[in-house]
């Protein structure tokens, strides 16, 4: 198949959406498909055999790491030249709207997928009053697609409750070779703990954004004698977090990639994830693949991944003491912690990117077939 993929974010940016798209594009190409990626220009022209059409963009004022690429007529011409069998629009917001418009104009079947829970993000940027308006926009935009995919069952139901139609689940995936317990090392643990490998080590990996509620890890660290915290990643809230964690043994590590990131997960004692805005929480699955016990808020798509007391711990995000109690329990129960590690790895091994992409290809074929039948009728 020939697939045109429109996304508001792609390489060289690092986040969960880009991780999913990287693996998806790689496996689509490996399976004999041809992919053309329309995205904000990041300097790349090709990825794993897929062509990249970079669109000039400017930084989003509230979130400079994100770049807005405005649709333009040349996109429509490039799409017409590529002659795709299907257009897949990821998180349609700005560039994605162009993808939907040109796909409709050229009568190309479309799939849209929902990855970022923007209505919840608004509350962390002082814009909560706009949530009903945003939901209405999401409904109008997504209902232009023949199929809408979400990455967790909770998000399928939430979008359905807000009037989005033709919904289905795009299963999760994780790279179980890059993220593996065998990558644990004293060298990485020493790096994360700033030379104190013997100390209890808490880990967070992900965007340093206000919506991630990372500041809630501070009292957790304080409750565990000698504990140290490593924050892997970067984002617009870093300076505020540096002030919040000043005077504590917190290491702002910055970005790690590939086996280095895998070693970070595998070398930590616990992965703490307080975010309540996750559509899935891919980093949790990465941590589990690396055998790192997870403590996460019972919210969004996280219950799709974590089974409380079996392969990790969940806490009530409205309970200020919940994360503390769960993490303290984790450190007190050494035998139970080892069982969690083993169960977490076993859970991650169930979800390969190859299987997730095969499922996506089946969705593609179904939508293309339905469109051809409608045209024939």
User: What mean pLDDT do residues 265-270 have?
Assistant: 98
Q: Cβ contacts of residue 128 below 8 Å, gap of 6+? A: 122
Looking at the structure, tell me whether residues 164 and 18 fall in a common domain. Answer: yes
Looking at the structure, tell me whether residues 223 and 337 fall in a common domain. Answer: yes
In a domain, 79, yes or no: yes
Q: What is the pLDDT of residue 62?
A: 67
Distance CA 3, CA 342 (A): 38
Residue 66: which of 4, 138, 125 has the closest Cα? 125
Looking at the structure, tell me whether residues 293 and 210 fall in a common domain. Answer: yes
Q: What is the pLDDT of residue 159?
A: 96
In a domain, 91, yes or no: yes
Question: What's the pLDDT tens digit per position in 36-65?
Answer: 999 999 999 999 999 999 999 988 776 677
Question: What's the pLDDT tens digit per position in 213-267?
Answer: 999 999 999 999 999 999 999 999 999 999 999 999 999 999 999 999 999 999 9
Question: What's the pLDDT tens digit per position in 78-112?
Answer: 999 999 999 999 999 899 999 999 999 999 999 99
Q: What is the pLDDT of residue 237?
A: 94
Looking at the structure, tell me whether residues 138 and 185 fall in a common domain. Answer: no
Q: Are 23 and 175 in contact (CB under 8 A)?
A: yes
Looking at the structure, tell me whether residues 46 and 142 fall in a common domain. Answer: yes
Given a cut of 70, whether residue 315 has pLDDT beyond it is yes
Looking at the structure, tell me whether residues 131 and 211 fall in a common domain. Answer: no
In a domain, 139, yes or no: yes
User: What mean pLDDT do residues 182-193 have?
Assistant: 98
Q: Cβ contacts of residue 26 below 8 Å, gap of 6+? A: 47, 48, 353
Dihedral (CA of 256, 259, 262, 263) sign? negative
Model confidence at 377, pLDDT cuts 50, 70, 90, reads: low
Instruction: Identify the CATH number of the domain in which residue 316 sits.
Output: 3.40.50.2000
Looking at the structure, tell me whether residues 137 and 248 fall in a common domain. Answer: no
Average pLDDT over the chain reads 94
In a domain, 43, yes or no: yes
Range of the domain at 157: 2-173+352-369
Q: What is the pLDDT of residue 342?
A: 96
Q: Are 305 and 313 in contact (CB under 8 A)?
A: no
Q: Are 330 and 313 in contact (CB under 8 A)?
A: yes
Q: Are 282 and 16 in contact (CB under 8 A)?
A: yes
Residues forming beta bridges with residue 168, ordered by sequence position: 149
Q: What is the pLDDT of residue 118?
A: 79
Model confidence at 137, pLDDT cuts 50, 70, 90, reads: very high
Model confidence at 129, pLDDT cuts 50, 70, 90, reads: confident
Distance CA 95, CA 216 (A): 34
Distance CA 42, CA 134 (A): 27
The total number of structural domains that make up the chain: 2
User: What mean pLDDT do residues 147-172 have?
Assistant: 96
Given a cut of 70, whether residue 138 has pLDDT beyond it is yes
Looking at the structure, tell me whether residues 284 and 363 fall in a common domain. Answer: no
In a domain, 57, yes or no: yes
Model confidence at 117, pLDDT cuts 50, 70, 90, reads: confident
Given a cut of 70, whether residue 376 has pLDDT beyond it is no
In a domain, 89, yes or no: yes
Distance CA 298, CA 312 (A): 11
β-pairing, 50-55 with 46-47? antiparallel
In a domain, 377, yes or no: no
Given a cut of 80, whether residue 272 has pLDDT beyond it is yes
Looking at the structure, tell me whether residues 208 and 109 fall in a common domain. Answer: no
**How much of the chain exceeds pLDDT 70, in percent?**
98
In a domain, 362, yes or no: yes
Half-sphere CA count of 41, side-chain side, radius 13 A:
9
Instruction: Find the farthest-apart pair of alpha carbons in the chain and give their distance in angstroms, rounded.
Output: 70
Given a cut of 90, whether residue 278 has pLDDT beyond it is no
Q: What is the pLDDT of residue 4?
A: 98
Residues forming beta bridges with residue 68, ordered by sequence position: 58
Looking at the structure, tell me whether residues 282 and 235 fall in a common domain. Answer: yes
Looking at the structure, tell me whether residues 85 and 99 fall in a common domain. Answer: yes
Looking at the structure, tell me whether residues 128 and 222 fall in a common domain. Answer: no
């Amino acid at each position: 198949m020939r697939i045109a993929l429109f996304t508001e974010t792609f390489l060289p940016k690092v986040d969960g959406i880009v991780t999913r798209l990287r693996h998806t594009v790689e496996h689509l190409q490996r399976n004999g498909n041809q992919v053309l990626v329309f995205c904000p220009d990041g300097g790349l022209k090709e990825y794993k055999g897929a062509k990249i059409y970079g669109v000039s963009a400017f930084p989003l004022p509230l979130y400079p790491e994100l770049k807005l690429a405005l649709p333009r007529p040349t996109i429509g011409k490039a799409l017409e030249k590529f002659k795709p069998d299907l257009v897949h629009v990821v998180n349609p917001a700005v560039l994605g709207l162009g993808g939907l418009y040109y796909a409709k104009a050229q009568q190309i079947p479309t799939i849209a997928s929902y990855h970022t829970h923007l209505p919840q993000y608004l509350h962390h940027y002082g814009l909560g009053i706009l949530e009903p308006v945003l939901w209405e926009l999401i409904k109008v935009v997504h209902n232009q697609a023949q199929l809408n995919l979400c990455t967790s069952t909770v998000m399928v139901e939430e979008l359905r409750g807000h009037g989005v139609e033709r919904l289905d689940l795009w299963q999760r995936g994780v790279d179980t070779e890059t993220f593996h317990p065998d990558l644990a090392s004293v060298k990485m643990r020493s790096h994360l703990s700033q030379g104190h490998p013997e100390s209890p080590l808490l880990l967070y990996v992900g965007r340093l954004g206000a919506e991630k509620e990372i500041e809630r890890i501070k009292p957790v660290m304080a409750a565990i004698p000698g504990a140290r915290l490593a924050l892997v990643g970067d984002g617009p809230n870093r300076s505020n977090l540096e002030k919040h964690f000043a005077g504590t043994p917190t290491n702002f590590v910055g970005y790690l990639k590939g086996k280095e990131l895998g070693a970070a997960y595998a070398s930590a004692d616990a992965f703490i994830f307080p975010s309540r805005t996750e559509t899935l929480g891919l980093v949790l699955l990465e941590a589990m693949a690396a055998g790192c016990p997870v403590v996460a808020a019972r919210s969004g798509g996280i219950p799709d991944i974590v089974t409380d007391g079996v392969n990790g711990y969940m806490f009530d995000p409205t309970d200020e003491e919940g994360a503390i109690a769960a993490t303290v329990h984790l450190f007190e129960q050494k035998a139970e912690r080892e069982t969690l590690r083993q169960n977490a790895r076993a859970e991650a091994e169930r979800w390969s990117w190859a299987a997730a992409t095969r499922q996506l290809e089946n969705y593609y074929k179904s939508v293309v077939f339905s469109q051809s039948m409608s045209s024939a009728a």
